[in-house]
Amino acid sequence: MDGNTWEGTDLADHYAEDAFASAKGYVRSYVLHQQLLDHLPPAPATVLDVGGGAGHHSFPLVRAGYEVTLLEPSQAMLDKAEQRLERLTEQERRRVTFVRADGERAHEAVNGGRFAAVLCHGVLGYLERPEPLVDQLCRCTAADGVLSIMTGNAGAMAVRPALERRWDDALAAFDDRTETNVLGVRSRADTVEELSELVRNRSLEPLCWYGVWLFVDWLEFSGVELDPNDSREMAKAVAVELEASRRDPYRQLSRAFHLVAHKDPS
C-alpha cells in the first residue's frame, strides 16, 4: 500500500485506532511481539520498521529499550504515529526516528544504514510483487541481524469466504492469491515457501515461521465478538493463539504468517 492510499480518507483513522483497539488487533500485536522477543538481539539494538504505520508494532520495542526508526510512506500514518508518540516518556521518544519514504527505496532513505532487526508487518500484500521490497529489507539487515516479515497466508484463502457462506468465492479462493480485505482494499497473499526462498536468495537464512490470527480471526467472521476490555478472557485468548502459532496444523490455517530470518555474520 503506497502512501497515497491513506491520504484524504478515513482509512488512517480506522487502521491506526479502531483496528488495533479491537480484540483481533490486540491479539495480533501481542502474538507478534512475543514471537519477536524470542529472536531479537538485546536492547538497545537498532530496529527498522518498514511500513510501520502508527508504530503499533515498534513502539512496544521502544518501551523495551530498543532504538527504532519507523519508515512509512504515508504522511497521514506518520501523523498518527506522532500522536501516539506522546504516550511515551521523554526518554523513550528520544529513541524514535521517523522517515517518510516508500519501502522499495528503504536502503537509500536510511542512507545505507544497516539495522540489527528489520520489521515489515502487513505490507507485502499491498504490492503486486514482493521481490523489490524484500530486496530492500534484506539490504537493510545488518550482518548477524534479524528480519521479521508478517504477511497474508495464501494457504488459508478459502477460510474467510467459507465462514461467511460465500461458497462460490471460497471455491475460487483455493487457487487465488488476492482478496478484498477487512479494510476494503484489494490485497495479495504469499506462501511461507516462496517467501523463504526469496530471503534465502538474498543471503538470509529462514529460522522459523509462525501463524498469526487463527481462532480470534475466525470467530469474528463467524459472528462472535470478543470484548477487548475483558482482560481475563483476552489473557486466555492470547495464550491459546500463541500456542497455536507454533504448532502444525494450526499455524497453517492462520490468516497471516510471520517469517523470521537471520543474516550470516560474515
pLDDT of residue 4: 55
Could you tell me the pTM of the whole model? 0.92
Beta carbons within 8 Å of 179's beta carbon, 6+ residues apart: 157, 160, 161, 173, 186, 187, 189
Instruction: Give residue 207's identity as a one-letter amino acid code.
Output: L
pLDDT of residue 145: 98
Beta carbons within 8 Å of 171's beta carbon, 6+ residues apart: 158
Q: Please report, in tens digits, the pLDDT of each residue of the chain (266 residues total).
A: 455 554 555 555 555 556 677 888 999 999 999 999 999 999 999 999 999 999 999 999 999 999 999 999 999 999 999 999 999 999 999 999 999 999 999 999 999 999 999 999 999 999 999 999 999 999 999 999 999 999 999 999 999 899 889 999 999 999 999 988 777 788 999 999 999 999 999 999 999 999 998 999 888 777 788 999 999 999 999 999 999 999 999 999 999 999 999 999 97
Instruction: Give residue 128's identity as a one-letter amino acid code.
Output: E
Residue 7 grid coordinates: 491520504
Instruction: Give residue 119's identity as a one-letter amino acid code.
Output: L
Round to whole Å and give the CA distance between 73 and 5.
10
